[in-house]
């Protein structure tokens, strides 16, 4: 099965070329991509952004999202890496890694393109990769083939002697960028004016801030400083339980969908989950809605997961009777409700691994991961719910050319594209991360030895 990138390249070619090659995907499903620019080298967008003076996320699912002015822009990749053939880049990366040996560890996120992931020493979700970085203390450089907030977390959890490198600085995350520190601080001040700051008779403070792992280190630090916590898509329910033991309500950012889906599954009525628009007074809500609020949801979303729809699920059930529909909890609530199951990337992986041979899965998460699963588990039929190929724009900004560039930089003793979190933010972020690691699900606490 060809990679997502190979398929995108073929889509932009002639019909004869498409027929000559076996396109990725499930028979009978359309072969089109959401953006013809995906076939270009990502460096073309580094140049476009440099000329326009404004950052952007590049082609793919986040293309229409507005990148904040402070979003990092990648400088120009040296021409030799743009001109190199795929085979050339591959042999340069292999040679650089061999020469660097234990001095470097390459981490690759599940959503990364195959042409990069083949060089990863560890593949996983953002938290698994941050832990992998922590466990490779002998490596002086950690090359993180993911996005900016993941590299920040790796920097905070790795040793002071280690450098974390993001091969393309434009690999941010449009969802993480939807909540910035000044807007969250302004919201916090409004909530303090509304609810006060004194605990109730049970010692629960008015609001606990909870940030999704997919957020800047500055927001993780905000949570650490204000009695809050970090969550992942695997432990969001446990974290919300932790928060309600200490607070009367939760401010959840930046992903409204993960917050809503998790709180709803815990039995919180959707009417008690006002959506906070940072540009409007009281987030655009009435005083009554804020009085009733149990979880205040920041108005952020993931442009990859918001592409999934109930209509796609209905079509998959028509095309593949008996199909098991598993979606990520960053999908909208109606999609999660219409699916058979919802869970993190790790949940999706385990669901496939544990299924009897011959199962059929329609998966609602990023296309690179879905197609890789389809190739790794040929005993099943696995396809992406979205028939249009639309990868995460920012993951796609990392191409083997950038990986070769940063590895060869290390060979010359140059650390390119280092990601460093200021110590003040790192200290408070670690507090919020450690609270998350210590939080235990209710069931586990019930059976824990005294």
Annotated binding-site residue numbers: 109, 126, 173, 212-214, 233, 302, 328-330, 345, 392
Instruction: Identify the three-state secondary structure at position 31.
Output: coil
User: Which residues neighbour 3 within 8 Å (Cβ) at sequence distance 6 or greater?
Assistant: 24, 113, 114, 115, 368, 371
Q: Alpha-carbon distance 124 to 106, whole Å?
A: 12
Among 179, 302, 369, 426, binds ligand SF4 (CB under 6 A): 302
Q: Is 392 in the site for ligand SF4 (CB under 6 A)?
A: yes
Restricted to residues 132-191, the positions that interact with ligand SF4 (CB under 6 A) are: 147, 173-175
CA-wise closest residue to 8 among 419, 284, 371: 371
Residues that bind ligand SF4 (rule: CB under 6 A) add up to a total of 14
Q: Alpha-carbon distance 44 to 41, whole Å?
A: 6
Q: Is 4 in the site for ligand SF4 (CB under 6 A)?
A: no
| Pairing outcome for strands 104-109 and 141-145 | parallel
Which of 62, 285 has the CB closer to ligand SF4? 62
Among 37, 152, 155, 366, binds ligand SF4 (CB under 6 A): 366
State the binding string over 64-103 for ligand SF4 (x if CB under 6 A, else -). Answer: ----------------------------------------
Q: If you count DSSP H runs as helices and E runs as strands, how many of each does the chain have, helices first? A: 21, 15
Q: Alpha-carbon distance 261 to 273, whole Å?
A: 11
From the centroid of its chain, how far is CA 10? Answer: 27
Q: Alpha-carbon distance 302 to 443, whole Å?
A: 31
Which of 5, 360 has the CB closer to ligand SF4? 5
Residue 166 Cβ vs ligand SF4, minimum distance, rounded to whole Å? 12
Restricted to residues 107-126, the positions that interact with ligand SF4 (CB under 6 A) are: 111
74-87 burial, b at 16+ Cβ within 10 Å, e below that, comes to beebeeebeebeee
Residue 213 Cβ vs ligand SF4, minimum distance, rounded to whole Å? 10
Q: Alpha-carbon distance 120 to 146, whole Å?
A: 11
Among 3, 33, 62, 360, binds ligand SF4 (CB under 6 A): 62
Q: Is 390 in the site for ligand SF4 (CB under 6 A)?
A: no
Which of 170, 207 has the CB closer to ligand SF4? 170
CA-wise closest residue to 111 among 254, 242, 202, 3: 3
CB under 6 A: which stretch of 27-35, 82-90, 298-306, 381-389 binds ligand SF4? 298-306
Which of 93, 395 has the CB closer to ligand SF4? 395
Which of 33, 360 has the CB closer to ligand SF4? 33
The residue ranges that bind ligand SF4 (CB under 6 A) are: 62, 111, 147, 173-175, 214, 302-304, 366, 392, 394-395
């Amino acid at each position: 099965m060809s990679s997502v990138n190979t398929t995108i390249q073929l889509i932009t070619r002639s019909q004869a070329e498409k027929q000559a090659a076996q396109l990725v995907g499930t028979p009978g499903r359309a072969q089109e991509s959401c953006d013809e620019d995906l076939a270009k080298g990502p460096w073309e967008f580094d140049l476009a952004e440099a000329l326009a003076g404004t950052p952007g996320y590049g082609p793919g699912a986040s293309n229409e999202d507005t990148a904040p002015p402070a979003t990092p822009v990648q400088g120009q990749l040296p021409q030799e890496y743009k001109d190199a053939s795929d085979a050339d880049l591959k042999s340069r990366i292999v040679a650089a890694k061999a020469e660097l040996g234990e001095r470097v560890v390459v981490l690759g996120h599940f959503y990364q393109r195959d042409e990069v992931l083949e060089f990863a020493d560890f593949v996983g979700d953002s938290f698994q990769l941050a832990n992998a970085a922590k466990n490779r203390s002998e490596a002086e450089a950690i090359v993180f083939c993911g996005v900016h907030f993941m590299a920040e977390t790796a920097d905070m959890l790795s040793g002071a002697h280690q450098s974390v490198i993001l091969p393309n600085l434009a690999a941010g995350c449009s969802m993480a960028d939807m909540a910035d520190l000044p807007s969250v601080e302004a919201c916090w001040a409004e909530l303090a004016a509304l609810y006060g700051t004194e605990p109730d008779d049970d010692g629960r403070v008015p609001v606990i801030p909870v940030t999704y792992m997919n957020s800047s280190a500055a927001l993780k630090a905000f949570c650490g400083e204000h009695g809050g916590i970090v969550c992942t898509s695997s432990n969001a329910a446990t974290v919300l339980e932790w928060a309600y033991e200490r607070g009367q309500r939760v401010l959840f950012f930046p992903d409204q969908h993960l917050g809503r889906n998790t709180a709803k599954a815990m039995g919180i009525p959707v009417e008690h989950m006002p959506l906070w628009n940072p540009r409007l007074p009281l987030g655009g809500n009435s005083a009554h809605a804020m009085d009733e609020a149990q979880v205040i949801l920041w108005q952020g979303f993931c442009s990859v997961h918001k592409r999934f729809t109930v209509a796609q699920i209905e079509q998959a059930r028509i095309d593949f009777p008996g199909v098991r529909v598993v979606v990520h909890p960053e999908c909208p609530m109606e999609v999660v409700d219409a699916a058979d199951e919802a869970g993190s990337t790790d949940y999706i992986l385990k669901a496939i691994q544990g299924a009897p041979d011959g199962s059929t899965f329609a998966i609602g998460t990023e296309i690179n991961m879905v197609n890789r699963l389809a190739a790794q588990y040929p005993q099943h039929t696995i396809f992406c719910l979205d028939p249009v190929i639309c990868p995460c724009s920012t993951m796609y900004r990392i191409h083997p050319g950038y990986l070769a560039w940063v590895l060869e930089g290390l060979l010359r003793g140059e650390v390119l594209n280092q990601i460093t979190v200021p110590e003040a933010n790192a200290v408070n972020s670690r507090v919020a991360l450690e609270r998350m690691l210590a939080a235990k699900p209710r069931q586990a606490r019930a059976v824990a030895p005294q």
